[in-house]
Amino acid sequence: MIRPATPADVPVILDFIQQLADYEKLSHACVATEADLAETLFGPRPYAETLIAEADGLPVGLALFFHNYSTFRARPGIYLEDLFVLPGHRGQGHGKALLQALAKLAVERGCARLEWSVLDWNTPSIDFYKSLGAEPQSNWTIFRLSGVALLQLVSSSWSKSNV
């Protein structure tokens, strides 16, 4: 069963995020808290949504996503930030069910696409995504500003001559 997350799911969502961070060898970067998730997922201005996969009434996976936008198509899209299924429940269709639910939401919401990123070493996930018909976008490079670099850009003086 796939269902939308509720505020009561925040501890489970955080646990799944922490387990995903461990799997991706990024636990040092995972600083999310239950309070952060409660505010950003269920507060006055939710920034993302979460679907929960259940088996026998217990949460076994999640898909955390948000809307992006395609200027070329002038339509929204869905960006899947995290897809996680507990190790003991992988290979049982929960990941596919979560992606199917997201695809259905994308179609219902008039989205132009559903997209996500995957670490280049994560062969099992890459193979799974390709088996669903997803295509890697190798002609794009992801750039990111965060931490000090983000703050430096905010505080820097730029003029048209710098561009």
pLDDT 10s digits, 67-126: 999 999 999 999 999 999 999 999 999 999 999 999 999 999 999 999 999 999 999 999
State pTM to two decimals: 0.90
141 by DSSP, 3-state: which? coil
Sheet holding 2-4, edge to edge: 2-4, 49-55, 58-70, 75-85, 114-116
Which domain, by its residues, includes 68?
Answer: 2-162
Tokens of residue 11, six digits: 């501890």
Residue 162 has pLDDT above 80, yes or no: no
Q: What is the CATH number of the domain that holds 60?
A: 3.40.630.30
Nearest to 64 by CA among 31, 105, 29, 27: 105
pLDDT tier for residue 160 given thresholds of 50, 70 and 90: low
Burial 121-140 (b: 16+ CB within 10 A, else e): eeeeeeebbeeeeeeeeeee
* Pair type for strands 114-116 and 49-55: unpaired
pLDDT 10s digits, 22-40: 999 999 999 999 999 999 9
Count: domains in the chain: 1
Strand blocks (E) in the chain? 2-4, 49-55, 58-70, 75-85, 114-116
Instruction: Return the active site residues.
Output: 129
The predicted pLDDT at position 141 comes to 86
